[in-house]
Amino acid sequence: MKAILETNYGYLFEPELLAEITRVGVYKKIGQGHQLMDIGEPITMMPLLLTGAIKILREDDEGDELLLYFLETGDTCAMTFSCCMGKNKSEIRAVAETETELVLIPIENMEIWMGRYKSWQQFILDSYHTRMMELLETVDTLAFLRMDERLLKHLQDKAKVNHDDLVHTTHQDIAFDMHTSRVVVSRLLKKLENEGKIKMHRNQIKVLDL
DNA sequence: ACATTAAGTGATT
DNA sequence: AATCACTTAATGT
């Protein structure tokens, strides 16, 4: 774990901090599709992504989901930070998009390190900022883009976090993430295929326009 | 061969 | 863009 930690965070954190992370952090490997955080659950640990990707979802009162953004290697969830400052309930759901390796850090350490390590403080603030920007981008997408543009963007995002232009998913899953119906996804996908932007196969879609 | 699940289609709102 | 009702195609047992 120390080796992967250094590869991904070595340039960010000083050796003492890395050593502390190794000491208190709990290494965890999560299989694809497994849930690692649900809405309403208390937050006690903060995740540092080593490999893989995690999708962050919001849920409405009817239980329908909507994808907010992806977390990738080197990312952390800034929501954790705001949660440990006040109320300790999660507002979101986190599901492993791919097989994911991460280190869990107790939130107590998070607060202590804020004062002790300049690099940690910087990291948290940066992370908070990027999360905010990603949120704004999804708001823009929802508000201003048409369904077909949203769909293409979603596929491109998926291809990106998986590091593979062959996206392994079903129309129904996409519809779920985008909070629309499967029929609509099927029709728009066919349109995108005719436009030469993607190529469809059963259970997988090749993204050509990246 | 049959059941199950994924994807395609036309019509309606 | 959503929903319904139905068809067709692919896949597992």
The CATH number of the domain holding residue A96 is 2.60.120.10
Listed in sequence order, the DSSP H helices in chain A are: 2-9, 15-24, 78-85, 107-116, 118-144, 147-162, 171-178, 182-194
Among A103, A120, A142, identify where a domain stops: A142
A29 and A105 assigned to the same domain: yes
The CATH number of the domain holding residue A175 is 1.10.10.10
- pLDDT number for residue A3: 80
The secondary structure of A112-134 as a DSSP string is HHHHH-HHHHHHHHHHHHHHHHH
In three-state secondary structure terms, A103 is strand
pLDDT digits (tens, 9 = 90+) for A27-80: 999 999 899 889 888 888 889 999 999 999 998 877 788 999 999 988 888 777
- pLDDT number for residue A98: 92
CA of A187 to C1' of B9 (A): 10
Q: How sure is the predictor about A12, in pLDDT bands with cuts at 50, 70 and 90?
A: confident
Nucleotides of C under 7 A from a protein CB: 1-5, 10-11
Give me the number of domains chain A comprises: 2
Contacts of A109 (CB under 8 A, 6+ apart): A20, A24
Q: Which residues touch strand C (CB under 7 A)?
A: A 146-148, 179-181, 183-184, 188, 202-203
Comparing CA positions, the residue from A169, A160, A174 lying closest to residue A209 is A160
A161 and A88 assigned to the same domain: no
A127 and A51 assigned to the same domain: yes
A130 and A203 assigned to the same domain: no
Q: Is the CB of A156 under 7 A from strand B?
A: no
Q: Is the CB of A180 under 7 A from strand B?
A: no
pLDDT digits (tens, 9 = 90+) for A123-178: 998 998 999 999 999 999 998 888 999 999 999 999 999 999 999 999 999 999 99
Residue A92 is given by DSSP the state S
Listed in sequence order, the DSSP H helices in A46-117 are: 78-85, 107-116
A28 and A114 assigned to the same domain: yes
Q: Which residue has the tokens 């080796």?
A: A3
Q: Supply the pTM of this predicted model.
A: 0.88
A155 and A64 assigned to the same domain: no
Q: How sure is the predictor about A88, in pLDDT bands with cuts at 50, 70 and 90?
A: confident
Q: Is the CB of A170 under 7 A from strand B?
A: yes
Among A112, A142, A172, identify where a domain stops: A142
Among A117, A142, A167, identify where a domain stops: A142
Q: Is the CB of A181 under 7 A from strand B?
A: no
Q: State which amino acid sits at residue A48.
A: L
Quote the domain boundaries for residue A151: 146-207
A82 and A154 assigned to the same domain: no
A107 and A155 assigned to the same domain: no
Q: How sure is the predictor about A85, in pLDDT bands with cuts at 50, 70 and 90?
A: low
- pLDDT number for residue A25: 92
Q: For chain A, give the mean pLDDT.
A: 89
A7 and A84 assigned to the same domain: yes
Q: How sure is the predictor about A87, in pLDDT bands with cuts at 50, 70 and 90?
A: low
